[in-house]
Amino acid sequence: MRVLVIDDHALFRVGLSELLERRGINVVATANGCTEGLNQAAALRPDVVLLDLRMPDVSGLEILQRLKSLNQQLPIAILTTSRDEQDIIVALQQGAQGYLLKDMEPDELVTALHRVTRGETVVAPELASILARVVQGNNNGGSIMETEDHTIDDLTPRELEILCLVAEGQSNKVIARNLGISDGTVKLHVKAILRKLNVHSRVAAAVLAVQQSVCHKAVPNYLQLATR
């Protein structure tokens, strides 16, 4: 696994890089902010980006948007100290595949990175209750889908089937194996689903499926702790 770390604190970048390298993860580069991070992402094509949220010049959320404009398929995990509800919602809305905390155990971070590169969306377990409030429509910052048009009726039967599998927390590879189709075909379907639902991430699509009760058994894995 090839990782790019974007964080404005030099000591943290060095410490995190050494921690990951000792666990067999290749940190291809580190960057201290937006311009350097975008250049490194374009030149090195990492498997995943670990991105800080609070940076002085350009915020992590803005860098997230620019990275997604550069490469929509690039997996990006926020790694932050912020447990702010609105930060979590906006990061997931903008397409982050992970929202992780800097005080998590190193082995938990490594496991989360592997899950993100497999196409899963991973949120720190301590934050599951916030996602549950999003599903229930009770979060102070508004729903992930509060201002957008989302027409599930526009989905084809196959797209609806894949949406339900996404909502169960299945990765593209697992969905492809279960349906007997290629990974590339699943990616095309997921891209079409996100476009038709007018959302930017798999987690937003999954939450929408739960909110509208279109999948009878679909409870996203990253919400199970909060919805039991």
Grade residue 149 by pLDDT with cuts at 50, 70 and 90: low
The predicted model scores a pTM of: 0.67
What is residue 113's predicted lDDT score, i.e. its pLDDT?
A: 94
Q: What percent of the chain has pLDDT over 90?
A: 46
The secondary structure of residue 48, as a DSSP letter, is E
pLDDT in tens, 185-228: 998 999 899 889 887 677 777 777 777 777 765 444 544 433 33
User: Which domains, and CATH codes, for the chain?
Assistant: 2-123 (3.40.50.2300), 152-227 (1.10.10.10)
pLDDT in tens, 95-146: 898 999 999 888 889 999 998 998 887 888 777 666 666 555 544 444 444 4
What is residue 147's predicted lDDT score, i.e. its pLDDT?
A: 40
106-133 b/e (C-beta count within 10 Å ≥ 16 → b):
eeebbebbebbbebbbbbbeebbebbbb
